């Protein structure tokens, strides 16, 4: 078995064809990568990427067409934002974001593909096998599956280029700040939700997750409002909460 | 849908291409231990008729309802295996391809053990996906009975004439002010020695005379939209924009001669290229009284000097020009300094002998010691290294002719981006498969011919022009194409009608409609959907399913890549 496991999601039109050309031309590269063909890099859902890490991938590579070359015109631009979103979530879950790598490779870049494979493989080998707290990555998966981050990852381009409903165009700096805040909030909320698989009080969660109790309470109130969390019991006048049964397709079986 | 999943796995040796590196029997043994796999076998060539028969009989014998082939790339062979499944009564979309050649044996040639382990992993991933495949039905759409041929050189004109004579309208697009391409620069053609201008004139006349061919001169392609059957090509015709609707596109943009600037004292006067020589021969623009010796040097700039490939036509071209000089001016010494000499086939071999008989002298040099051209006291000296004698033979030359390779036109890159078709390592257009689909691109409805695809002589360019036209005729004559049902579909139970999918779809294939009072849902127009799946990865409720690349299929594949699940 190889020391590190890498999964590659390659778009059918450019990067997968580039990998084929590497083969036809016999350009050698390390045998760590397992390739999955998708029609477009824009298809690669952050949920699937994070799930791959959760199941033991040490690195994930996404290969699409060069800007302007996308067979579907703009799929690769969307892919870029989705990958960035997944990287932010990895960071929250304390997994090195550079374990997830996006690259544009054309159908004629067989030699370059093999070079990129070697470089990425070296990088992952240097990082070593991935380590993480299962619940942390599970929370990242849940956050990636929830609507807020999905809207943001998809709308980011529009907000940066065209502007919002009121015609306000965001600068990259503003966007980054906004994303940092929202990604953290979403991640924290999902961590709390997962903690509440077992009955817990605000204080207990706050100490386990190293968060301020008032922040935990605010998240729990939100979760209660979304009907995801109920009060389980009152323990010495302290409410103890519990999550309703999670039923998220494809993430937790 | 409680039918038991029965998967058959077929592992291809591909001769020694896979079997020479990967331990195929071990992969077969491994495959047979996987969940749902009821049959696993290996074939010398799964794509051969025996291999395909083996698939068909196994489907019947073992009552298979999923087929996995581990061999080469789906980009070339998926349609063949799907058709085989269909012939055996299995829905073609219950087939899954695993690439253990391009992604394994060919790229890990020196690590057979790791390659075998990787092949097992890839097969496990393919089986995991196969277990979740669903039967799908193909879609059909109409084909506009018009072709666009880009480039009015000899192969483009051949393709255009062939299509027009088959009854289809053709728009022939040429960037220059007149048609003809490279052939316009030639003097005479081998092996018949007929005049290139006369030969070309006949073709141009036929093109101009044909009622179904519209020739667009001084025209370049600005934009290309659409897909097989319904392309829209936007032209810039002498500054005027024009849109053409067409069902197919043929790329015949040709090549150009490499300019050997800085090599072999090239100056365009006394040291010239073969094309420049032809131009001078054509115009009788050489002062033979002052030319006693002509030296031709082969492989200039080719075979590792500047470009890596052999241009393949320069040998015959040099032989032809040398023979023509010798025949008209027997007193002139004509040398060809060459490394290898390509004069394949009987006709070309006889032509080579005729040149020898006419007195052309051939000098062989090793590729590591190419000839050197130097100037000494106003004279041109060519030093040709003689291998047996192990010394440089200096030849005083009055004219040096460099045989340079054909190279891709600089604007080919732009066109390749517009059409979304690839260029290979040598920058020539890259066919879908060198043997199985030599004039097709991997993209449906786009074909190629002529020197845009690589160096070729006139005969080959013409043959390829006919080939491309014949391939393009298939969708044109049928009038419809079947398109893959790899499209998205909305689960209206989960959809909230937010419209984010509509905003990301590049084809307007998905839109939010009012299904009930105050109830909006996204709907997919199947024929418009091209299957990228960006709507699926954007859907806020994860309510969009991308057929054949669904979340559960991709997750199964990705999990199988990193976890082993043996029965």
Among partner residues A23, A34, A52, which is closest to B121 by beta-carbon distance? A34
**A59 shares a domain with A159:** no
Phi, psi for B293 (deg, rounded to 5): -135, 130
Phi, psi for B391 (deg, rounded to 5): -155, 160
- Domain final position from A127, A148, A163: A127
**A109 shares a domain with A144:** no
Contact yes or no for B248/B171 (Cβ under 8 A): no
Which of A13, A43, A152 to probe by mutation at the B interface, max B CB count within 10 Å?
Answer: A43
Please confirm whether the linkage preceding B26 is cis (ω < 30° from 0).
no
Facing residues of A185 across strands? none
Report the alpha-carbon distance of residue A36 to residue A6 in Å, rounded: 11
Q: Is A27 on the interface with B (CB under 8 A)?
A: yes
B146-256+408-481: CATH class? alpha beta
Query: Crossing angle for the helix pair A134-145 and A147-161, nearest 10 degrees?
Result: 60
Q: Which CATH number fits domain B488-546: 1.20.120.450, 3.40.50.720, 3.40.50.300, 3.30.70.20?
A: 3.30.70.20
Is A229 contained in some domain? yes
Is A110 contained in some domain? yes
**A158 shares a domain with A173:** yes
Contact yes or no for B351/B343 (Cβ under 8 A): yes
Residue A233 structural domain: 134-243
**A99 shares a domain with A48:** yes
Contact yes or no for B69/B8 (Cβ under 8 A): no
Domain segments of chain B as ranges = 7-136, 146-256+408-481, 259-404, 488-546
Q: CB-based burial of residue B452 (10 Å sphere; 0-12 exposed, 13-18 middle, 19+ buried)?
A: buried
**A216 shares a domain with A105:** no
- What fold does the segment set B7-136 form as a domain? Rossmann fold (3.40.50)
**A168 shares a domain with A112:** no
CATH code, A50: 3.40.50
Q: Where are the alpha helices (DSSP H) in B3-111?
A: 24-31, 49-61, 74-87
Chain A: closest CA distance from residue B208 (Å)? 35
Chain B: closest CA distance from residue A73 (Å)? 7
- Restricting to A residues 59-88, those with a Cβ less than 8 Å away from any Cβ of B are 68-69, 71-75, 78, 82
Report the alpha-carbon distance of residue A48 to residue A82 in Å, rounded: 11
Find the radius of gyration of the CA atoms of chain B. Answer: 29
Chain B residues whose CB is inside 8 A of the A39 CB are 486, 531-533, 546, 549
Chain A: closest CA distance from residue B113 (Å)? 9
CATH code, A139: 1.10.10.10
Closest by alpha carbon to B415, among B163, B173, B207?
B173
Binary contact (A52, B562; C-beta < 8 A): yes
pLDDT for res B228: 87
Domain count, chain A: 2
Helix-then-strand count for chain A, H and E: 9, 7
**A170 shares a domain with A142:** yes
Is A253 contained in some domain? no
Token readout for B126 is 């393919």
Q: Assign domain B259-404 to its CATH architecture.
A: 3-Layer(bba) Sandwich (3.50)
Chain A residues whose CB is inside 8 A of the B506 CB are 72-75
**A47 shares a domain with A95:** yes
Is A251 contained in some domain? no
User: What three-state secondary structure class fits B566?
Assistant: strand
Binary contact (B118, A34; C-beta < 8 A): yes
Is A182 contained in some domain? yes
Q: Is B430 on the interface with A (CB under 8 A)?
A: yes
Residues A4-39: pLDDT tens digits?
999 999 999 899 999 999 999 999 999 999 999 999
Residue partners of B273: CB distance under 8 A and separation at least 6: B257, B259, B260, B266, B401, B402, B403, B404
Question: How many Cα atoms occupy the beta-carbon half-sphere of B374 within 13 Å?
Answer: 10
Binary contact (B558, A108; C-beta < 8 A): no
Token readout for B468 is 């491309």
**A208 shares a domain with A96:** no
Which of A39, A57, A71 to probe by mutation at the B interface, max B CB count within 10 Å?
Answer: A39
Neighbours of A121 (CB within 10 A): 22
Give, for all 567 residues of chain B, the pLDDT tens digit. Answer: 568 999 999 999 999 999 999 999 999 999 999 999 999 999 999 999 999 999 999 999 999 999 999 999 999 999 999 999 999 999 999 999 999 999 999 999 999 999 999 999 999 999 999 999 999 998 888 999 999 999 999 999 999 999 999 999 999 999 999 999 999 999 999 999 999 999 999 999 999 999 999 999 999 999 998 888 999 999 999 999 999 999 999 999 999 999 999 999 999 999 999 999 999 999 999 999 999 999 999 999 999 999 999 999 999 999 999 999 999 999 999 999 999 999 999 999 999 999 999 999 999 999 999 999 999 998 999 999 998 899 999 999 999 999 999 999 999 999 988 887 878 778 999 887 777 789 998 778 999 999 999 999 999 999 999 999 999 999 999 999 987 899 999 999 999 999 999 999 877 789 999 988 889 999 998 877 889 999 999 999 999 999 999 999 999 999 999 987 544
Binary contact (B558, A51; C-beta < 8 A): yes
Nearest CA in chain B to A30: B108
Is A16 contained in some domain? yes
Closest by alpha carbon to A60, among A95, A24, A29, A106?
A95
Chain A residues whose CB is inside 8 A of the B486 CB are 39
Closest by alpha carbon to B163, among B538, B377, B475, B425?
B475
- Domain final position from A84, A107, A127: A127
Mean pLDDT to the nearest integer, A134-150: 96
ipTM of the modeled complex: 0.94
Please confirm whether the linkage preceding B191 is cis (ω < 30° from 0).
yes
Nearest CA in chain A to B535: A43
Chain B: closest CA distance from residue A231 (Å)? 27
Phi, psi for A9 (deg, rounded to 5): -105, 115
pLDDT for res B2: 67
Three-state SS string over B267-283 comes to CCCCEEEHHHHHHHHHC
Q: Scanning the structure block, which residue is given the tokens 């049959």?
A: B39
């Amino acid at each position: 078995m190889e020391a590190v496991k890498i999964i590659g999601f390659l778009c059918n039109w450019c990067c997968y064809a580039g990998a084929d050309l590497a083969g036809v031309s016999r350009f050698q590269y390390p045998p760590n990568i397992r390739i999955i063909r998708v029609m477009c890099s824009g298809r690669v859902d952050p949920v699937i990427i994070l799930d791959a890490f959760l199941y033991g991938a040490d690195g994930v590579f996404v290969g699409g067409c060069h800007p302007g070359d996308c067979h579907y015109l703009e799929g690769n631009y969307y892919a870029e934002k989705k990958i960035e979103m997944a990287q932010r979530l990895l960071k929250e879950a304390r997994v090195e974001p550079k374990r997830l790598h996006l690259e544009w490779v054309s159908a004629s870049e067989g030699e370059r593909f093999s070079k990129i494979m070697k470089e990425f493989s070296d990088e992952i080998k240097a990082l070593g096998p991935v380590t993480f707290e299962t619940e942390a990555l599970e929370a990242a998966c849940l956050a990636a599956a929830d609507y807020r981050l999905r809207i943001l990852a998809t709308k980011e381009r529009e907000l940066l280029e065209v502007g919002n409903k009121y015609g306000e165009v965001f600068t990259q700096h503003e966007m980054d700040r906004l994303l940092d805040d929202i990604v953290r909030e979403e991640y924290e909320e999902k961590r709390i939700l997962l903690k509440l698989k077992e009955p817990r009080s605000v204080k207990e969660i706050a100490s386990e997750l190293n968060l301020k109790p008032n922040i935990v309470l605010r998240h729990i109130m939100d979760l209660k409002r979304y009907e995801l969390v109920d009060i389980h019991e009152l323990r010495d006048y302290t409410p103890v909460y519990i999550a309703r049964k999670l039923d998220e397709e494809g993430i937790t079986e | 849908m409680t039918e038991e999943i029965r998967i058959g796995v077929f592992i291809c040796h591909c001769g020694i291409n896979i079997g020479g590196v990967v331990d195929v029997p071990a992969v077969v043994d491994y495959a047979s231990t996987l969940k749902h796999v009821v049959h696993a076998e290996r074939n010398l060539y799964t794509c051969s008729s025996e291999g395909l028969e083996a698939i068909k009989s196994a489907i019947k014998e073992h009552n298979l309802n999923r087929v996995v082939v581990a061999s080469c790339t789906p980009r070339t062979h998926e349609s063949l295996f799907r058709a085989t499944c269909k012939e055996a009564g299995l829905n073609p979309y219950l087939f899954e391809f695993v690439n253990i050649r391009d992604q394994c044996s060919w790229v890990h040639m020196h690590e057979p053990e790791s390659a075998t382990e990787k092949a097992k992993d890839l097969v496990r991933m393919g089986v995991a996906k196969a277990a979740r495949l669903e039967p799908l039905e193909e879609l059909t759409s109409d084909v506009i009975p018009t072709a666009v041929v880009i480039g009015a050189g000899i192969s483009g004109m051949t393709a255009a004439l062939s299509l027009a004579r088959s009854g289809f309208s053709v728009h022939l697009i040429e960037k220059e002010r007149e048609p003809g391409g490279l052939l316009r620069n030639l003097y005479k053609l081998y092996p018949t020695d007929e005049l290139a201008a006369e030969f070309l004139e006949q073709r141009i006349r036929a093109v101009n005379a044909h009622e179904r061919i519209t020739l667009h001169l001084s025209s370049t392609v600005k934009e290309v939209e659409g897909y097989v059957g319904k392309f829209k090509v936007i032209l810039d015709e002498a500054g005027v924009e024009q849109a053409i609707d067409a069902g197919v596109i043929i790329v015949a943009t040709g090549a150009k001669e490499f300019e050997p600037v800085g090599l072999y004292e090239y100056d365009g006067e006394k040291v010239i290229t073969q094309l420049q020589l032809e131009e001078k021969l054509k115009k009788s623009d050489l002062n033979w009284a002052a030319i006693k010796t002509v030296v031709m040097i082969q492989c200039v700039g080719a075979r590792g000097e500047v470009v890596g490939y052999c241009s393949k036509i320069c040998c015959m071209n040099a032989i032809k020009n040398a023979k023509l000089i010798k025949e008209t001016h027997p007193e002139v010494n004509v040398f060809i300094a060459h490394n290898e000499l390509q004069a394949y086939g009987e006709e070309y071999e006889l032509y080579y002998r005729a040149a020898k008989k006419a007195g052309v002298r051939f000098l062989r040099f090793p590729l590591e010691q190419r000839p050197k051209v130097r100037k000494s006291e106003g004279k041109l000296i060519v030093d040709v290294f003689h291998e047996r004698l192990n010394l440089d033979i200096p030849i005083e030359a009055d004219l040096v002719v460099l045989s340079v390779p054909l190279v891709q036109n600089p604007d080919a890159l732009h066109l390749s981006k517009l059409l979304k078709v690839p260029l290979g390592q040598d920058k020539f257009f890259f066919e879908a498969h060198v043997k199985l689909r030599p004039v097709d691109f991997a993209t449906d409805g786009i074909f190629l011919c002529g020197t845009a695809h690589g160096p070729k002589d006139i005969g080959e360019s013409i043959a390829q022009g006919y080939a491309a036209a014949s391939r393009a005729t298939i969708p044109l004559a049928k009038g419809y194409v079947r398109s893959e049902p790899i499209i998205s579909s909305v689960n209206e139970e989960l959809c909230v009608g937010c419209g984010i999918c509509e905003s990301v779809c590049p084809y307007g294939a998905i839109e939010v409609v009012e299904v009930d009072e105050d109830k909006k849902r996204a709907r997919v127009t199947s024929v418009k959907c091209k299957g990228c799946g960006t709507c699926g990865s954007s859907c806020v409720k994860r309510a969009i399913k991308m057929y054949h690349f669904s979340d559960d299929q991709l997750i199964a594949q990705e999990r199988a890549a990193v976890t082993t699940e043996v029965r």
